[in-house]
C-alpha cells in the first residue's frame, strides 16, 4: 500500500478529470494524473513512467528507475500484491 508501483502512461482517458490509462506489468488501469500534471497539455505525459500509489501517479521517473523499482518490487513480492489489489478493485466494482 505504501510502496507504489511503476507504470507507463499510455493514453489520456478523461482530460477534465485528469485521468489516464497506465500499463503496470502488462495490466491496464485507469489512474489519476492530477499530481504529475503541470501547465502543459496532458498528452505530454503519454509514454512517461510514473510511480503509481493507490490509483494516483505520484512522481514521474525515468525508464531505468522504473525497471529497477519493478525488479525490487517483484523481489519483495509487492508487485504481485499490487496487481492482486488492482484485480480486487475491479472485482469490487463488479459487485463482489
Partner 1 sequence: MKFASEFRDPKAAKALLAEIARVADKIGATKEKPIHIMEICGGHTHSIFRYGLDKLIHEGVEFIHGPGCPVCVLPRARVDECIEIAEREGVIFTTFGDAMRVPGSKKSLIQAKAEGADIRMVYSPLDALELARRNPEREVVFFGLGFETTTPSTALAIQQASREGLQNFSVFCNHITVPEPIKALLDDPHMCLDGFIGPGHVSMVIGIHPYDFIAEDYHKPIAVAGFEPLDLLQSVLMVLNQVAEGRAEVENQYARVVPEHGNPVSLAAIADVYERRPSFEWRGLGEIDASGLRIRPAYAAFDAEEKFGVGYAGVRTELKDPEGCACGAVMTGRMKPVDCPQFGRGCTPEMPLGALMVSSEGACAAYWQYGGARAREAAE
Write out the residues near partner 1 by the rule CB under 8 A: 1-4, 17, 29-32, 34-37, 51, 53-56, 58-59, 61, 63-72, 75-78, 81-82, 84-86, 88-89, 91-93, 96
Q: Which residue's CB is nearer to partner 1, number 40 or number 77? A: 77
Q: How many angstroms separate the CA atoms of 84 and 77, rounded?
A: 11
Q: Which residue's CB is nearer to partner 1, number 17 or number 41? A: 17
Residue with cell 482517458: 13
Q: Which residue's CB is nearer to partner 1, number 43 or number 67? A: 67
Helix (H, G, I), strand (E, B) or coil at 78: helix
Rounded to the nearest 10 degrees, the angle between the axes of helix 63-76 and helix 78-93 is: 90
What is the smallest separation between the CB atom of 12 and partner 1, expressed in angstroms? 16
What is the smallest separation between the CB atom of 1 and partner 1, expressed in angstroms? 5
Q: How many angstroms separate the CA atoms of 94 and 96, rounded?
A: 6
Using an 8 Å Cβ cutoff, are 36 and 9 in contact?
no
Q: Which residue's CB is nearer to partner 1, number 43 or number 59? A: 59
Amino acid at each position: 500500500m505504501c510502496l507504489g508501483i511503476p507504470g507507463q502512461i499510455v493514453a489520456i482517458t478523461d482530460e477534465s478529470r485528469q485521468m489516464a490509462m497506465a500499463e503496470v506489468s502488462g495490466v491496464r488501469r485507469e489512474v489519476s494524473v492530477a499530481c504529475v500534471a503541470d501547465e502543459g497539455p496532458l498528452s505530454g505525459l503519454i509514454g512517461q513512467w510514473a510511480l503509481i500509489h493507490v490509483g494516483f501517479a505520484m512522481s514521474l521517473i525515468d525508464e531505468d528507475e522504473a525497471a529497477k523499482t519493478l525488479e525490487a518490487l517483484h523481489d519483495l513480492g509487492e508487485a504481485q500484491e499490487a496487481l492482486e489489489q488492482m484485480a480486487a478493485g475491479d472485482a469490487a466494482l463488479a459487485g463482489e
